[in-house]
A = this chain, B = another copy of it.
Amino acid sequence: MGISSSSSVCFELNGGRLAPRRLDGPPVCGCILPCFLFPRVPPEIRTQLVEQFKCLEQQSESRLQLLQDLQEFFRRKAEIELEYSRSLEKLAERFSSKIRGSREHQFKKDQHLLSPVNCWYLVLTQTRRESRDHATLNDIFTNNVIVRLSQISEDVIRLFKKSKEIGLQMHEELLKVTNELYTVMKTYHMYHAESISAESKLKEAEKQEEKQFNKSGDVSVNLLRHEERPQRRSSVKKIEKMKEKRQAKYSENKLKCTKARNDYLLNLAATNAAVSKYYIHDVSDLIDCCDLGFHASLARTFRTYLSAEYNLETSRHEGLDIIENAVDNLDARSDKHTIMDMCNQVFCPPLKFEFQPHMGDEVCQVSAQQPVQTELLMRYHQLQSRLATLKIENEEVRKTLDATMQTLQDMLTVEDFDVSDAFQHSRSTESVKSAASETYMSKINIAKRRANQQETEMFYFTLMDPSEAFPVLNPQLSLPFLVCTAKICPGHRVEINSH
């Protein structure tokens, strides 16, 4: 299951769970040189080297686990994006096909010119755009991000294996040096022991020589014992010869010992330097080999994901801007004209009523000679004074109307559409605050505002309605009548504020 016992491809294909081994777990086979090769290496160092490999392996297995989690994550996220994309596509298509298929399609086509319908079509366009973008996200996750992740997994396995090979060589080198140190130490100890032994033997010979020397001192005192002299001389010679021999042996052993000690001391320093170099540089290099490209490749994978998400966002934003522009262009006046143009035979004024003279009546204008003139003038003055009253009343109504309209406009254009608050995430995991609770859109607030709005609206309509705002007029006291009358009474002008 571990990296060391399975091939890279099998590892990926099996996809088994790779629990990182714990530090106190069983030793990792194959990660360390067998003990019998270098039996004289201190066990602490041997254990550390084993643990170092375990640590590297654990690290690589953690990475593989991470990469596997990321792959699973993006595989599932890709599925979610695709589901979302399909739902959006279906949603947009449902309404688009309704628009296309409806028997009043042609009519709707004309309606396209109306600003609210334009907004609605753009919302559908945006939905299709979002659908496409999330499908693209699915595609990028599946065919790019996941592929990269599985490649990084392969890389981690391959690099760990390669690093292990290099590490094993480093360890072999280190153990060889350490093992060698023990050998040269033993050599030094041996030569030193031999040197001591040779020295003691030399000292023994010197003692014997001294003994002989003391005897020859007695000789000078006792010269009379003449017959003993040749025997004694050969004995002295023998002792001297032995001493010389032992002296040579000692010197030889001492030199050997010195060389061995030098060797040991130099090896000691070299081993310490090698161990130090290994711990300070080589282990770090080994980890670097394991890491080679991991962070860079992972960064590129994450950046691919980020690029996809950022691009989705940009595309979304562009679409929303188009809708916002259309919303800015919602225009009641322009729509009214469009409708009136569309049905222009319904809204065009009819032909004027023409004067129909009776049987050869040649008079076709108002005659204002006496006695009719007096009556006309009287009626005109009557209208004039009525108009003055109306103007005052009208002015009052107009003021109230304007104020009411302003109130209505304020109600209708209140900027109550900012929902930023709903997106302020506290860092805690508390559930989403309902956009409707405690806010502008709460049930009570809505009811209150709507009641208020409709009341104002009704008041406005009451003011608009001539039959309620003013007493019903005699048709011959109506404004058009007045206008005409004024025209045919020369010298009398009337200022009309047409409603």
Contact = CB atoms under 8 A, between A and B. Distances in A.
Interface in A446-499: 446, 450, 454, 457-458, 460-461, 464-467, 475-476, 478, 480-481, 483-485, 487-488, 498-499
Most chain B CB neighbours (cut-off 10 Å) among A45, A270, A415: A270
B465 A169 contact: yes
A-side interface mostly: helix
Contacts of A83: 83-84, 87
B176 A475 contact: yes
A493 to B, nearest CB: 17
Contacts of A213: none
Contact of A461 (B166, B270, B365): B166
A253 B87 CA distance: 85
A346 B55 contact: yes
A444 interface: no
A488 to B, nearest CB: 8
A159 B408 CA distance: 14
A417 interface: yes
Contacts of A294: 116, 332
Contacts of A268: 353, 355
A314 B274 contact: no
Counting chain A residues whose Cβ lies within 8 A of the other chain, the interface size class is: 35 or more
A159 to B, nearest CB: 8
Interface string A29-63: 00000000000001011001001100100010011
Contacts of A243: none
Interface string A241-280: 0000000000000010011011011111111111111011
A227 interface: no
A376 to B, nearest CB: 7
A421 to B, nearest CB: 9
Interface stretch (A181-189, A218-226, A229-237, A386-394): A181-189
A443 to B, nearest CB: 9
Interface in A371-412: 371-372, 375-376, 408-409, 411-412
Contacts of A157: none
A136 interface: yes
A262 B458 CA distance: 42
Contact of A273 (B91, B289, B331, B484): B484
B258 A372 contact: yes
Given A73-B123, A311-B420, A420-B307, A189 B262 contact: no
A294 B457 CA distance: 13
Interface in A404-442: 408-409, 411-420, 422-423, 425, 429, 432, 434-436, 441
B450 A151 contact: yes
A36 to B, nearest CB: 20
A109 to B, nearest CB: 13
A417 B270 contact: no
Contacts of A485: 266
Nearest to A117: B66
A238 interface: no
Contacts of A283: 340, 347
Contact of A339 (B55, B169, B279, B335): B55
A305 to B, nearest CB: 8
A347 B279 contact: yes
A304 interface: yes
B196 A270 contact: no
B166 A314 contact: no
Contacts of A272: 352-353, 480
A361 B323 contact: no
A202 interface: no
Given A192-B361, A295-B115, A347-B279, A288 B336 contact: yes
A262 B364 CA distance: 9
A73 to B, nearest CB: 6
A105 interface: no
Nearest to A478: B270
Given A281-B499, A323-B302, A412 B91 contact: no
9 contacts: A70-B120, A77-B91, A178-B353, A188-B358, A262-B372, A264-B355, A281-B498, A283-B347, A311-B420
Given A273-B484, A311-B420, 13 more contacts: A19-B104, A51-B343, A59-B339, A66-B120, A69-B98, A143-B436, A270-B476, A270-B480, A274-B480, A275-B350, A283-B347, A288-B332, A312-B423
